[in-house]
Structure 1
Amino acid sequence: MLFISVTALMGGLALFLLGMHLITDGLHKAAARQVQYILGHVTRNRFYGMLAGLLVTIILQTSAVTTVLLVGFVSAGLMNLSQALGVILGAAIGSTLTPQLIAFNLGDYALWAVVAGLIPYLFSKRLRWRHLGEAVIGFGLIFYGAGVMGQAAAPLKSLPEFIALLDRLASFPWLMAGVATLFTALVQASTPTVVLAMTLASQGSLSLPSALAMVLGANLGTTATAFISSLAHSREAKRVALVHFLFKLGGVFIFLPLLNLYTWLAETTSPDIARQVANGHTLFNVINMLIFIWFTPWMGRLATRILPDAPEEEKVAKYLDSTVVEVPEVALTNVVRELLRMANVINREMFPRVMQPLAAREVDLLEKLKGLDNLLDYLYHAIARYLIRIPETNLSEEQSILKIKLLYIASDLEHIGDVLVEMAHQWQKIETTGVEFSPQGQTELHEMFEKVRENFNAAVEAFATNDEGAAVQIIRRHPEILRLEKDLRCSHFQRLQQENRLSLETTSVHMELINQFLRLNLHSVSIAQAVMGII
């Protein structure tokens, strides 16, 4: 009997988890652009952010995914930490909708929802309708899974071993909350744990205080998803996950010592114990929001103190959100943002350093440039892997061409980093000997370098704005760079004939730097050609 009941209970839970996955996956794909718009534009203050989090989580049916999206947004610089904190509190309230729906006992209609969702999922030719059909199937499965769990839990109350185990846990609410926290962290969602608590309570296997202790543990355990997601993101994104955990932990520390009062509040909301558990879940998140929304600025500062800014650019892909790879318009936009970040590293961090005169050069300059080049290498490979993961079946012809363009541009940016490191190696030769270029030679090198840098910035701007006209101008300026290169070589040879000592001692480095300038400009031309579709 115990084996059959536990098997049915686990099977029902598995169906419930599958349904949750289908709902989240389907709605995320169907409404990805709308969700990103809401999160990106309706977060002007903490209260708007709270409402945005509530709405988005109702759409996605899980606060864990909303928080993961926030981690990506903050990492990408599209939202700051203080804006994200209000969204987190609203998302927690939105996550209570599913248990409220489960409490209506709609299991008799669950399979009809599966049938209704299967029709567009199998037969629709439009991706959005297929994704919506997938979500409807998911709704059917969570109600059906909840029904299976309810039927499986009924015989358990007559098993003395099972009741004794629950009684031992019920005697220690902190332990019950801890077990629920671990279980929720394992299944990556709070809703299954809350629904399991509702099921056991409705069958008489669990008292209301014990069920509410499970609810508190479920709310704390759901923070694990954002923590895991933030590991691959920036320091700012890790702060979002940390504050999410602190909000929930603070709520648990407030509610568990007041468990009797919390139980009384839940009991006053409904005569049905399953509804009381669902309402207790909602009460916790609403009260927690009302308490902590006033402290979001201080929580943000606390997170910054615990996780201070990294001294250097972090080796993470800030924009490549793996949850939207099957939504091409969003995924390709993310790649564009990451490429512009690469260009920004080159223009702001590498270009100003590489041509510094000896007197002004930083200590360990070559090592710093190598570190930045390693970041560019990492981002190039991350972008390549991300682009490969975007399914070809979801791409229009135009998007397929754009995908190839982006890969070409990523390669050019990565190679520009290599060129700049090679230039630094040449400068190190000058630094070792202590002999500088002749004044005229140094002026000429800086003149050509600035023209090459202008072309690079123009190519990046043409890419960012998709301006084919600007790209044409960059290509047309390449012969001017070639003429300048010939002029600089001729001028240098004239100084050699005049037996200029500085020119003689620096000639190999001088010639090699001119070659590297040409390579830099060729990569800018290649970026411009990609903008024009010449690939």
Structure 2
Amino acid sequence: MSVLLNLLSGVALLIWGTNLVQVGILRVYGANLRKILAVSVTNRFTAFLAGVGVTGLVQSSNATAVIVSSFVARGLIALTPALAIMLGANVGTAVMVQVFALDLSWLSPFLIFIGVILHLSRKGSRVGHVGRVLTGLGLITLALELISVASRPVVEAAGVKVLFASLTGDIMLDMLIGALFTLLCYSSLAVVLFCGTLASAGVVSIPVALGLVLGANLGSGVSALMSTAGSNQPGKRVALGNLLSRVIGCAVALPVVHLAAGWLSQLDWPAHHVVVGFHLLFNIVLAVLLIGFTGQVAHLCERLLPGNSSNDAQVSQRHLDPAALSTPALALSNAAREVLRIGDRVEQMLVNLLQILKTDDARLVGITRRMDDEIDTLYTDIKLYLTRLSHEELDDKDSRRWTEIITLTINLEHAGDIIDRMLQDIKDKKIAHHLKFADAGMAELTEMHGRLIANLRLGLSVFLTEDQRSAQRLMEEKMSFRELERRLELNHLARIASQTPDSIETSSLHLDLIGDMKRLNSLFCTMAYPALDESAGNAAAAPEPSAPANITSS
């Protein structure tokens, strides 16, 4: 019984160490990691590399899956590059298994000693969080050593040998058992290393150990899907696509497990290294095979999980975790995620606005105006959440981010109020009197509306990535939008002068809509100021080049 408890405590310590590393990394680099994932989607290969790097830091492909799913759920990342990120995340996890398969027992006491000192002496600071990471890494190496020691009497027991002896010959059964172990341990790393221990002790043959490793990969995909169960349909598709890729990989690998075992055995490696090497090889080959087919996998996921946002009807906040308030960087990241939900609702209100202008759908007016109530609710939640943050614990960077988030929240809430008033005017002045815009006027409003939505999306992207080039482009769009407003007003006045009946009847509403869109665009363009201010500050702080010394000849 004590042996079993030692083994279970080792697994628990491994999970706890992984959690410490994950939390510490996210609190120190959380915003930057999310920025890396958000801006790495220019092509599948950069997305893949970002997945490898981020997962190597946070020590968990499940954590990467949760982050990527949240981006896809808000429409910030398309599903295809998100699946490429997850392929990289799986390779990143396999690489870390290779690292921890080495004999790092000498490193564990040093990491724990230094990490605890840093964490306790600088608690709550960036240095303190680094100490948390070092402590977690030390606990992981210590846990792996404890598991290795505790598993020796287990694997040498006659009953255990008989139990595992029954696994020989049926790779499918081995795979299912490996998946079950992974779900129970919530760590594919622990299961893969344990399989290596079993193979080294001769308890199971190499083919059986490789079957268990395939099951660990499958179980990890199921675990990631369970972690994103609370997301909306687009968010769930990321984990579903990741699981489908694992299923495809296992289906392809099953017939060749015995061949792979024979080939790896010829390398004259220890059994332990053969098992973890197969785990890495499986994920690399899977990534190579599927990196070009992520689009097809994404299409399949969309067919299996149709719909856009199954949870959009839920008005309550999702990301404002009170437990994160003690860590300002993490709390600010949570608040930023919630602000983006407000941005999504503002965009949906604008999309509905154009449809109402074209169809006079009074029912849609009521539905859209209720979205402003949702925005008000989220605005209040974010405002109260941010006021609970202790400003004494905020450094200069966090203070600036706090200001950016609260400013954007206020501006988006104001934008919702403006759109709500626009809808009421359309209902009272157009729908109630069965009026319509002139064809040219409707085309101009549609053009302005399209530019407005594009600037909102660009502004939210600038808020998320703080990309200075995009911020500069947003400011250029602000000037261009002003010129568009003047041109459309002059065109409308020209139609009135030419006695166009529809333009005369809707003149007041038409000019009001143009003015309101300009005000909305100004609110959206304010998202560029923080990035531009930071750029100006960096330029001012840069040392000026020294002037060349005067050289005089005698």
Q: TM-score, normalised by structure 1?
A: 0.73
- 1:38 and 2:27 aligned: no
The separation in 1 between residues aligned to 2:86 and 2:196, in whole angstroms, is 24
CA contact 1:156–1:205 (8 Å) conserved in 2: no
What is the match of residue 330 of structure 2?
Answer: 327
- Aligned-partner SS, 2:111: helix
Deviation string 1:79-132 (CA, Å, 9 cap, x unpaired) is 322222332222212112332233222224422221122222222378332222
- 1:310 and 2:313 aligned: no
- 1:49 and 2:47 aligned: yes
What is the match of residue 521 of structure 2?
Answer: 457
What is the match of residue 364 of structure 2?
Answer: 365
What is the match of residue 226 of structure 1?
Answer: 224
CA contact 2:429–2:509 (8 Å) conserved in 1: no
| Equivalent residue runs for 1:273-312 within 5 Å | 273-308=271-306, 310=308
Deviation string 1:34-67 (CA, Å, 9 cap, x unpaired) is 4334333444322333223222222222222223
| Equivalent residue runs for 1:487-506 within 5 Å | none
Deviation string 1:475-509 (CA, Å, 9 cap, x unpaired) is xxxxxxxxxxxxxxxxxxxxxxxxxxxxxxxxxxx
Deviation string 1:181-213 (CA, Å, 9 cap, x unpaired) is 233234443112212222333344333222222
Question: CA shift at 1:13, angstroms?
Answer: 0.7
What is the match of residue 214 of structure 1?
Answer: 212
What is the match of residue 139 of structure 1?
Answer: 137
- Aligned-partner SS, 1:184: helix
CA contact 2:234–2:308 (8 Å) conserved in 1: no
Of 149-158 and 440-449, deviating more is 440-449
What is the match of residue 150 of structure 1?
Answer: 148
Of 89-98 and 35-44, deviating more is 35-44
- Aligned-partner SS, 1:82: helix
What is the match of residue 537 of structure 2?
Answer: none
Question: CA shift at 1:4, angstroms?
Answer: 1.2
One-letter identity of the residue aligned with 2:347: N
1:262 to 248, 260, 263: 260
| Equivalent residue runs for 1:343-492 within 5 Å | 343-350=346-353, 352=354, 356=357, 360-362=359-361, 364-370=363-369, 372-373=371-372, 376=375, 379-380=378-379, 383=382, 387=386, 394-396=393-395, 399=398, 403=402, 406=405, 410=409, 413-414=412-413, 417=416, 443-465=507-529
The separation in 1 between residues aligned to 2:274 and 2:391, in whole angstroms, is 48
Question: CA shift at 1:250, angstroms?
Answer: 0.6
Question: CA shift at 1:270, angstroms?
Answer: 4.6
Shift in alpha-carbon separation, 1:386–1:75, aligned structure 2, 3 A: farther
Question: CA shift at 1:144, angstroms?
Answer: 1.1
One-letter identity of the residue aligned with 1:461: C
One-letter identity of the residue aligned with 2:205: S
Shift in alpha-carbon separation, 1:405–1:304, aligned structure 2, 3 A: closer
Deviation string 1:436-489 (CA, Å, 9 cap, x unpaired) is 7999785334434543443233233235535999xxxxxxxxxxxxxxxxxxxx
Question: CA shift at 1:243, angstroms?
Answer: 1.5
The separation in 1 between residues aligned to 2:95 and 2:388, in whole angstroms, is 33
1:87 to 73, 85, 88: 85
Question: CA shift at 1:346, angstroms?
Answer: 3.6
Of 45-54 and 405-414, deviating more is 405-414
What is the match of residue 341 of structure 1?
Answer: 344
CA contact 2:320–2:382 (8 Å) conserved in 1: no
CA contact 1:54–1:90 (8 Å) conserved in 2: yes
The separation in 1 between residues aligned to 2:279 and 2:287, in whole angstroms, is 13
Shift in alpha-carbon separation, 1:25–1:257, aligned structure 2, 3 A: same
CA contact 1:239–1:304 (8 Å) conserved in 2: yes
What is the match of residue 497 of structure 1?
Answer: none
CA contact 1:232–1:316 (8 Å) conserved in 2: no
Of 149-158 and 451-460, deviating more is 451-460
Deviation string 1:293-320 (CA, Å, 9 cap, x unpaired) is 2322322332233334539994579996
CA contact 1:72–1:319 (8 Å) conserved in 2: no
The separation in 2 between residues aligned to 1:467 and 1:231, in whole angstroms, is 35
- Aligned-partner SS, 1:258: helix
Shift in alpha-carbon separation, 1:232–1:7, aligned structure 2, 3 A: closer
2:73 to 50, 72, 75: 75
What is the match of residue 507 of structure 1?
Answer: none
CA contact 2:45–2:84 (8 Å) conserved in 1: yes
Question: CA shift at 1:154, angstroms?
Answer: 1.5
The separation in 1 between residues aligned to 2:103 and 2:419, in whole angstroms, is 65
What is the match of residue 12 of structure 1?
Answer: 10
What is the match of residue 129 of structure 1?
Answer: 127
- Aligned-partner SS, 1:96: helix
- Aligned-partner SS, 2:308: coil
The separation in 2 between residues aligned to 1:114 and 1:134, in whole angstroms, is 9
Aligned length: 463
One-letter identity of the residue aligned with 2:60: T
One-letter identity of the residue aligned with 1:86: A
The separation in 2 between residues aligned to 1:467 and 1:157, in whole angstroms, is 58
Q: Which runs of 5+ in 1 are unaligned?
A: 470-535
Shift in alpha-carbon separation, 1:296–1:451, aligned structure 2, 3 A: closer
CA contact 1:52–1:90 (8 Å) conserved in 2: yes
The separation in 2 between residues aligned to 1:183 and 1:378, in whole angstroms, is 43
CA contact 1:332–1:403 (8 Å) conserved in 2: no
Shift in alpha-carbon separation, 1:59–1:178, aligned structure 2, 3 A: same
- Aligned-partner SS, 1:364: helix
Shift in alpha-carbon separation, 1:48–1:198, aligned structure 2, 3 A: same
- Aligned-partner SS, 1:145: helix
What is the match of residue 58 of structure 2?
Answer: 60
What is the match of residue 501 of structure 1?
Answer: none
CA contact 1:197–1:211 (8 Å) conserved in 2: yes
The separation in 2 between residues aligned to 1:409 and 1:52, in whole angstroms, is 28
Shift in alpha-carbon separation, 1:33–1:152, aligned structure 2, 3 A: same
Question: CA shift at 1:145, angstroms?
Answer: 0.9
- 1:110 and 2:108 aligned: yes
- Aligned-partner SS, 2:204: coil
CA contact 1:230–1:237 (8 Å) conserved in 2: yes
What is the match of residue 21 of structure 1?
Answer: 19
What is the match of residue 465 of structure 2?
Answer: none
The separation in 2 between residues aligned to 1:382 and 1:172, in whole angstroms, is 54
The separation in 2 between residues aligned to 1:166 and 1:393, in whole angstroms, is 57
The separation in 1 between residues aligned to 2:387 and 2:101, in whole angstroms, is 43
CA contact 2:174–2:208 (8 Å) conserved in 1: yes
Q: TM-score, normalised by structure 2?
A: 0.71
The separation in 1 between residues aligned to 2:68 and 2:310, in whole angstroms, is 23
Shift in alpha-carbon separation, 1:395–1:258, aligned structure 2, 3 A: same
CA contact 1:190–1:221 (8 Å) conserved in 2: yes
- 1:246 and 2:249 aligned: no
CA contact 1:201–1:208 (8 Å) conserved in 2: yes
Cα RMSD after superposing both structures: 4.0
